[in-house]
Amino acid sequence: MMRKKHFNCGDSQCVHTLLNGKHQEHVLFYQPYTSDQELMIVLQTPVMKSNMENYAKQLVFVDTTHCVNQYSFPLFTLVVRDDHGHGVPVAYAIVSNESQKTLETVLGIVCEHFPTSPRAFMVDKDFAEINALQKVFPESAILLCWYHVLQAVNRWLSKSESGVHGLSNTQKRNEIISFFCKLKACTVTVGRPFPDDPACVYVFCMCVCFSLPGPRGCLRKCAPWERCVLVTVVIGSPSSLLPAHLQLIT
């Protein structure tokens, strides 16, 4: 409502002139903001296109930044990692909201310029982004940003529903966080034996949980979603491999 009240028609006209002028070749899609439709601006320069063709086959990072303009319209960014380990943008989108429908439209436009579907996208816990990516890129895996996973676990453990909140359970919470930190070192490569560390068994089970339609569907329906991160899916491994505290809260 605030955006509509303070939206300046002069700004709208300037944007329209700019995007239809000398910078038109960098505009993949432009839908003006009106009372009947959302603003959508999708941009990609030749350098971005080149980086997409060279580095977007494996992993693409997706994030939304707020408060970068006076209307607080979100800036939607797709980033890849180049040969030097640097993150480089491959597409920008300015939208007037972050609804799944809007993001599906934006991603549908960008999808046409990918050389092939990326192996995976990395996102935070924004379900609108996750659902839109699954709809537009059904062949790509969805990975959760490690920072946001730990953030979600910390927030859940601080709640009374976790069963380990409060000062008296500080040590238990620290042990659980320490256990989750071990997940970062767990990798499974084809042809190599599966690690014996219980944490690695658990992260494997979590990956299965996120990749299978059933558990993933359950994940979207559960609230809060943080609890779902602690759901155990045991594939040929006894639950006794898990630390006692995790068994209690799953």
Q: Which of 12-21, 34-43, 168-177, 238-247 has the highest average model confidence (pLDDT)?
A: 34-43
**Final residue before a domain boundary, out of 129, 144, 159:** 144
In the predicted model, is pLDDT for residue 1 greater than 60? no
172 and 108 in a common domain: no
Residue 59 parent element (H or E):
strand 59-65
- Report the Cα–Cα distance between both ends of the chain, in Å, rounded: 41
pLDDT digits (tens, 9 = 90+) for 199-219: 555 554 544 344 333 333 333
Length reported for the chain: 250
Instruction: Please give the Cα distance from 244 to 247 (Å, whole number).
Output: 5
Which residue carries 């045991």 as its tokens? 234
**Final residue before a domain boundary, out of 109, 124, 144:** 144
How large is the average pLDDT for residues 25-54?
A: 92
Q: Is-contact 204 187, C-beta < 8 A? A: no
84 and 20 in a common domain: yes
Q: Identify the DSSP state of 30.
A: E
Chain-wide mean pLDDT for the chain?
75
Which pLDDT belongs to residue 43?
A: 95
Instruction: Please give the Cα distance from 144 to 61 (Å, whole number).
Output: 10
64 and 20 in a common domain: yes
87 and 107 in a common domain: yes
193 and 110 in a common domain: no
Residue 237: how many other CB atoms lie within 10 Å: 16
* Secondary structure class of 147 (helix, strand, coil): helix
